[in-house]
């Protein structure tokens, strides 16, 4: 519940605002039962105990990378399982969380798409992933990325509710600027997001500069194509002053040729946008393979020469099937 909703509830049972704030602080500080909330009168604690439930995900599996300390969690939730990943970066620890059980976007390279969408996660289930990843790993998490299983903008209302909760000053208080939402490109929702008052970072999974290649990889491209997505991102920047960055998973022989680099530079030149390149992680069920390191750096150089900002991302957790949906897939 949002703080305002708690305030309303407490008002309805004749309690004052500060009680709602106390409960909010406890919940976001990791209380697992109302009985722990020692500054509440015991009658109120008992009442809350019967009216509400504090959820917690069941840890189904945990894997730690020996290469780089990356930790992957598989959480059992109603209807299946979702993954979260904790990664260590110079700028702090980041947790990558899931937003749906499964996904209905159908991207050809993605393990999460296999089996389709089961259901949307509630905001509390996204918060649980952040909170329990921090609790279990013992690492203070300063950054959150919505790049796990699912399409965040396909679960728009719950994702926004989650963002309001995780950034709340009385809660985990994670700075909005330390949160990244990744989308495969739901154009209408990007336009809707432009009116949202939270300052998080938006990134779009582009993966190809031309409709022929992108439609092959991502069915969503049939709604408006590459230009439709880039236009929406430009409108988003114009409205919010925040630039959208692009993810580009490099796939051997599919989207990684010099011709693709040229087309991409042609589309992005002058936009000030940043491209993150990462070789595709192999998904056994998929026939596509990641580009070699040599190809990735040549592609990056070509983009830079043509005036496009570009970074090659390190692949973390290679030894623990850490990419989107892989662990869940294997466990299924």
Active-site amino acid positions: 83, 324
Query: Cβ closer to ligand SAH: 37 or 250?
Result: 250
* Residue 166 contacts residue 130 (beta carbons within 8 Å): yes
3-state secondary structure 30-89: CCCCHHHCCCCCHHHHHHHHHHCCCCCCEEEEEEECCCCCCEEEEEEECCEEEEEEEEEE
Does residue 323 touch ligand SAH according to CB under 6 A?
yes
Alpha carbon of 254 to those of 185, 209, 225, 227, 310: distances in Å? 20, 11, 18, 19, 19
Does residue 155 touch ligand SAH according to CB under 6 A?
no
Alpha carbon of 167 to those of 146, 179, 245, 261: distances in Å? 14, 9, 21, 37
Query: Cβ closer to ligand SAH: 302 or 316?
Result: 316
For ligand SAH, the binding residue among 174, 324, 327, 328 (CB under 6 A) is: 324
Does residue 151 touch ligand SAH according to CB under 6 A?
yes
In 3D space, the residue among 331, 322, 318 whose CA is nearest the CA of residue 61 turns out to be 331
For ligand SAH, the binding residue among 3, 23, 174, 184 (CB under 6 A) is: 184
For ligand SAH, the binding residue among 84, 182, 213, 273 (CB under 6 A) is: 182
Does residue 280 touch ligand SAH according to CB under 6 A?
yes
Does residue 74 touch ligand SAH according to CB under 6 A?
no
* Residue 310 contacts residue 261 (beta carbons within 8 Å): no
Q: Considering only 22-30, 180-188, 191-199, 222-230, which stretch makes contact with ligand SAH by CB under 6 A?
A: 180-188
For ligand SAH, the binding residue among 81, 110, 117, 296 (CB under 6 A) is: 110
Does residue 232 touch ligand SAH according to CB under 6 A?
no
Residues 6 or more apart whose CB falls under 8 angstroms from that of 299 comprise 250, 256, 258, 260, 261, 277, 291
Query: Cβ closer to ligand SAH: 280 or 310?
Result: 280
Does residue 249 touch ligand SAH according to CB under 6 A?
yes
Q: Which residue(s) pair with 82 in the sheet? A: 75
As measured in angstroms, the least distance from the Cβ of 36 to ligand SAH is 35
Note the helical H segments in 150-252.
156-166, 187-193, 211-217, 225-240
Query: Cβ closer to ligand SAH: 127 or 145?
Result: 145
Alpha carbon of 289 to those of 65, 106, 214, 285: distances in Å? 22, 17, 16, 11
> Binding mask 90-109 vs ligand SAH (x if CB under 6 A, - otherwise)?
-----------------x-x
Burial (0-12, 13-18, 19+ Cβ within 10 Å), 181:
buried
As measured in angstroms, the least distance from the Cβ of 290 to ligand SAH is 7
Does residue 133 touch ligand SAH according to CB under 6 A?
no
Does residue 250 touch ligand SAH according to CB under 6 A?
no
> Which positions lie near ligand SAH, rule CB under 6 A?
107, 109-110, 147, 151, 182-184, 205, 247, 249, 278, 280-281, 283, 323-324
């Amino acid at each position: 519940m949002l703080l305002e909703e708690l305030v309303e509830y407490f008002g309805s049972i004749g309690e004052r605002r500060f009680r709602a704030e106390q409960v909010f602080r406890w919940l976001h500080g990791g209380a697992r039962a109302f009985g722990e909330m020692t500054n509440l009168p015991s009658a109120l604690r008992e009442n809350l105990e019967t009216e509400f439930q504090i959820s917690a995900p069941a840890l189904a599996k945990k894997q730690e990378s020996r290469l780089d300390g990356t930790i992957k969690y598989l959480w059992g939730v109603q209807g299946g399982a979702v993954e979260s990943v904790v990664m260590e970066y110079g700028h702090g620890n980041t947790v990558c969380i899931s937003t749906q059980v499964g996904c209905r976007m159908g991207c050809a390279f993605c393990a999460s798409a296999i089996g389709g969408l089961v259901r949307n996660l509630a905001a509390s289930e996204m918060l649980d992933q952040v909170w329990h990843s921090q609790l279990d790993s013992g690492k203070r998490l300063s950054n959150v990325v919505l790049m796990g299983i699912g399409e965040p903008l396909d679960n728009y209302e719950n994702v926004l509710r989650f963002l309001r909760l995780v950034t709340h000053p009385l809660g985990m208080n994670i700075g909005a600027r330390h949160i990244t939402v990744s989308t495969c490109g739901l154009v209408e929702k990007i336009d809707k997001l432009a009116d949202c008052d939270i300052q998080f970072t938006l990134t779009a999974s582009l993966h190809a500069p031309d409709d022929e290649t992108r439609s092959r990889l991502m069915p969503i491209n049939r709604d408006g194509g590459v230009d439709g997505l880039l236009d929406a991102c430009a409108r988003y920047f114009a409205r919010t002053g925040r630039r959208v960055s692009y993810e580009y998973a490099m796939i051997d022989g599919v989207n990684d040729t010099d011709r693709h680099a040229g087309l991409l530079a042609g589309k992005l030149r002058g936009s000030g946008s940043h491209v993150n390149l990462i070789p595709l992680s192999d998904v056994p069920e998929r026939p596509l393979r990641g580009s070699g390191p040599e190809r990735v750096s040549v592609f990056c150089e070509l983009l830079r020469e043509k005036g496009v900002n570009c970074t090659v991302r390190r692949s973390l957790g290679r030894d623990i099937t850490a990419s989107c949906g892989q662990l869940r897939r294997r466990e299924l």
